[in-house]
Structure 1
Amino acid sequence: MELRHLRYFLVVANELNFTRASEKLFISQPPLSRQIKELENEIGVKLFNRNSKKVELTEAGKFFRKEVVNQLQNLESVILKTKKISENISGEYRIGYISSTFSDTITKLIQFLTKKYPYLNIKLYEVSTVKQILALEQSKLDLGIVRAPLVSTKINSKLWFKDSYSLVFNKNKTKVKEIDDISKFRNELFVFFNKDYAPIYYNSLIEICSKYGFVPNIVHESNNINSIIQLVRNGLGVSIVPTSLKKSHIYPELSFLDLDNNFLTNVLLATPKNDKSQITDSAISFLLA
């Protein structure tokens, strides 16, 4: 059975007249009759009752017509999705991010991509910068949101934004009275990212504390910024976080003390070097707008 057999059958079933059907199909009537007969022989069912006066669908033919219409509609949908995948505007799109960068902007990015590419299956992965770099080099991610530095000959990157640092603390639990300098918190307990998970970020925080003249007493570590914020909220320590987090972590008990702008961290948009994705271009343009 070939697809043309089904298409021929549907035209005849709609017209119930072989002459009109053959005109619509731009073939002569004898070949059309032969194609319908081949179809009936193949499935072993009589689809039409025919005589010199009229053509009618049998009960089996009526059922077959309904099912063929449904199947051809599904086939058209499959063909459309296949074309969209070929045009690189459908399929699976994988975005990696570090927890300290997840914000309303990323949520809006997903909404934007979903609207622009309705057949797109977007997957979000919270992954450390180190692991994202490896995944990008192996093309296991389509877009990565990481913190500098990024050193790789297999990855392209663009600066998304520069972020400063802030000390975050529970204002109801701290013993510090004059909250005007991070050095006043030298005797507080600190909550940091795990050193093995984010070594460069960890070392940056150690360096900041060193510039203020003390070594932080790190008692808790986490691989997730939300966990760090919750620990601080519960009075289990203070932390140093990117200033941009103030917008997404608004709690009455939390306060943020902005640090010297000499301490900056660059957030980058990274892609595999040979990536030519229309989706990636759209995503980056949206984030940089």
Structure 2
Amino acid sequence: MELRHLKYFLAVAEELNFTKASEKLFISQPPLSRQIMELEEELQARLFNRNNKKVELTEAGKYFEKEVKSLFQDLERISVKTKKIAENVSGEFRIAYISSIYSSVISDLIKQLKEQFPYVNFKLFEVSTTKQILALEQRKIDLGIIRSPVKSPKIKSQLWFKDGFSVVYNKSLIQIKSEEEIPKLKEETFVFFNKDYAPHYHEVLLELCAFYGFEPKVVHESNNINSIVQLVKNGLGISIVPSNIAKNNQDPEIGFIELKKVNLFTDVSLITSKEDDSKITKSAVDFLLNFKR
């Protein structure tokens, strides 16, 4: 059985007239009749009742017509999706991000992309910078959002924005009003990112403390920025977080003091594979680069 047999069958089923069906198919009537007979022989079922006056579908023919129409609808859907996959506007798109990136930005990105690429299945992963770089090199993700420079011949990196730093503390436990009082914090305990999880970021935090004249007493570590802020809120220490976090935190129990005197920033970058020139990747990067911060 071939697709042409099914197309010929549907034409006759719609017209219920072999002459009209053959005209519609641009073939002569004898070959059309022969194709229908071959189909019936293969199915071992009569699909049409024929006489000199009219052509009618048998009960088997009515069932077959319904199923064949459904089959062609599926084939159309498959063809459309296959074409879109070939055009890089369907399939799966995987985005990795670090925990210190405000989540509403990611949500806005996904909403925008879903409008542009409705056939795409988007997946989000919260992944450390080092693991993102490895995953992108292995093509396990399509777009990464990281902090720190990238040294990989396989990766294209674009600066998204430069982020400053802010001290975060529990207002009821720490009495501090300005950046000038930061050196007083040398006696306090700190909550930091784990060194193995984000080595570059960890080193920057140590540099910040050194600028204000002390070495931090790190008693708690976490791999998630939101967990660090929660630990601070619970009174387990103070921390230094990206100012991006401070700008988007409205908790009245927590205070932030931006460190403006020190000339240290962290680069938040967008990373993609150098071999990736797909429409969806370009659209995602363009959206983020043009995002009003």
Alignment correspondent of 1:155? 155
Alignment correspondent of 2:281? 280
Q: For 1:128 and 1:186, locate their aligned partners in 2 and report how far apart those are by CA, in whole Å.
A: 28
- Structure 1 unaligned spans of 5+: none
Q: For 2:5 and 2:182, locate their aligned partners in 1 and report how far apart those are by CA, in whole Å.
A: 79
> TM-score, normalising length from structure 2?
0.95
Alignment correspondent of 1:263? 264
CA RMSD, 1 decimal:
1.2
> TM-score, normalising length from structure 1?
0.96
Secondary structure (helix, strand or coil) at the match of 2:187 reads coil
Secondary structure (helix, strand or coil) at the match of 1:201 reads helix
Secondary structure (helix, strand or coil) at the match of 2:156 reads strand
Alignment correspondent of 2:187? 187
Alignment correspondent of 1:134? 134
Q: Partner letter of residue 16 of structure 1?
A: L
Contact kept? 1:164, 1:242, Cα under 8 Å = yes
Give the aligned length: 288
- Equivalent residue runs for 1:114-129 within 5 Å: 114-129=114-129
Q: Partner letter of residue 12 of structure 1?
A: V
- Structure 2 unaligned spans of 5+: none
After TM superposition, give the deviation of residue 173 of structure 1 in Å.
2.3
Q: Partner letter of residue 15 of structure 2?
A: E
Q: Partner letter of residue 95 of structure 1?
A: I
Contact kept? 1:104, 1:248, Cα under 8 Å = no
Q: Partner letter of residue 275 of structure 2?
A: N
State the percentage of identical aligned residues: 62
1:84-105 Cα deviation digits (max 9, x unpaired)? 0001111111111111114211
Q: For 2:43 and 2:189, locate their aligned partners in 1 and report how far apart those are by CA, in whole Å.
A: 78
- Equivalent residue runs for 1:173-184 within 5 Å: 173-174=173-174, 176-180=175-179, 181-184=181-184
After TM superposition, give the deviation of residue 133 of structure 1 in Å.
1.0
Q: For 2:176 and 2:223, locate their aligned partners in 1 and report how far apart those are by CA, in whole Å.
A: 30
Contact kept? 1:168, 1:241, Cα under 8 Å = yes
Of residues 4-13 and 240-249 in structure 1, the stretch that sits farther from structure 2 once superposed is: 240-249
- Work out whether 1:210 is the aligned partner of 2:202: no
